[in-house]
Amino acid sequence: LIKSGRIIDPYQWLDFIGDLWLQNGVVKGLEKYIDVPQQTQVVDARGLVVCPGFIDIHCHLREPGDQDKETIATGAAAAARGGFSAVCAMPNTRPPIDSVDMVVILLDKAREEGVVRVLPIGCITKGREGGVLVDMHALAQAGVIAFSDDGSPVADDGLMRQALMQAASLRLPIINHCENPVISAGGVMNDGAIAARLGLKGWPASAEEMMVARDIALAEATGGLLHLAHLSTAGSVDMVRRAKERGISVTAEATPHHLTITEEWVMTTPSHQRPYNTNAKVNPPLRTQRDVDALVIGLADGVIDCIATDHAPHTSSDKDRTFEEAAFGISGLETALGSLMSLVHSGRLDIATLVERLTAGPARVLNRPDLCPATLKPGSPADVTIFNPDAE
């Protein structure tokens, strides 16, 4: 029995102080007060938020191929510490998740070592090379819950159109990495005054926005389910807003780092040896305060459907280099809630909306209630997160 917590269940539009009763891995009861048998274990949740387990629709577990950076076991453990009961593993592993055999290997490993649900995302193209589509029907039957070449965009317009059409027949989303590689080529941080001051090649907002515009147009033409990964610019938010107003099947995510910090973090270096912090090198790059503000507003009003960590861990040697040489990516599973609560404490986002964007929001994008119920409704799997909203 989880007793006297603030129950927030966005799926049921519930927000009240009450009790949650779990039995044999299933929600047994949800009421203001529940009288349970004497032998029941009781957890005092006074002052704590009790909600469905968070769902991360976009993370990198690095296995197979880069186990020195992360494994399914360590990634799942980090997810649990961060409040996530389900994580969707991107397929840019080595080898990539582009075949039934690779999906089976990942699922078997997840069953053996994953302390949370690990759901595989399959590649869009073979080898993530952007040339030939994978067998989407076979991968869907094997258990993938979406398709993405994340880390690389599907640059070929005709191929992206085919992918949207095939995935639409399976009712699975295409998650595209929003980047025009011709525009971004060689860029390592946001194109602007700070990049110029540091002598680093800039990455314009237009590189993202051109791909977002193309994908929205193709989604409208095909009726496919398009999900836009890691939005970072005000222009992208505006295009998604207008697309939804026109009834196009498009959803979008934003990351904790793009919602809370700006390009100025590149200069918050922990040492005096270099004028920059390579931990702040991410793809897409951290943007301006104007972009952050637009993302937060889009998250608050539902234009951005969910928060995804884009957890991308690296070894210290990957980051302890010049900014140009350092790897793109930031670890986010354990710090997501802490950073996002800054939006709540500053009054920019209410806590019920934050919980929704971490639970029901991603569950809606995936549309797999059998795997991600994202509710505390009696009879549902007991995927539960409890946190102190005032803890540092």
Neighbours of 165 (CB within 10 A): 15
On the question of a cis peptide bond just before residue 96, with omega within 30 degrees of 0, the verdict is no
Sheet containing strand 174-176, strands side by side: 174-176, 226-228, 250-254, 306-307
DSSP helix/strand/coil, 186: coil
Query: Is-contact 120 146, C-beta < 8 A?
Result: no
Query: Is-contact 189 285, C-beta < 8 A?
Result: yes
Residues paired with 55 in a beta bridge: 86
The per-residue DSSP string of 257-323 comes to: HHHH--GGGGG--SSSSSSS-GGG--SSPP--HHHHHHHHHHHHHTSS-EE---B----HHHHSS-T
d(CA 30, CA 69): 40
How many angstroms separate the first and last alpha carbons of the chain? 26
Q: How far is CA 272 from CA 206, 267, 268, 322, in A?
A: 33, 11, 10, 14
Q: How far is CA 181 from CA 155, 205, 287, 317, in A?
A: 8, 12, 18, 26
Instruction: Determine if residue 381 is left, alpha or beta; phi over 0 gives left, psi from -120 to 50 gives alpha, anything else beta.
Output: beta
Q: Indicate if 383 belongs to the active site.
A: no
Structure tokens at 317: 């040697």
Q: How many CA atoms lie within 13 A of 316 on its CB side?
A: 0
Query: Is-contact 165 145, C-beta < 8 A?
Result: no
In terms of DSSP bridges, do strands 2-9 and 49-52 run parallel, antiparallel, or are they unpaired? parallel
Structure tokens at 281: 């090198």
On the question of a cis peptide bond just before residue 120, with omega within 30 degrees of 0, the verdict is no
Check residue 115 and report its DSSP letter.
S
Pick the catalytic residue: 56, 150, 305, 310?
A: 310
The continuous run of DSSP H or E covering 361 comes out as helix 360-366
- Name the residues annotated as catalytic: 310
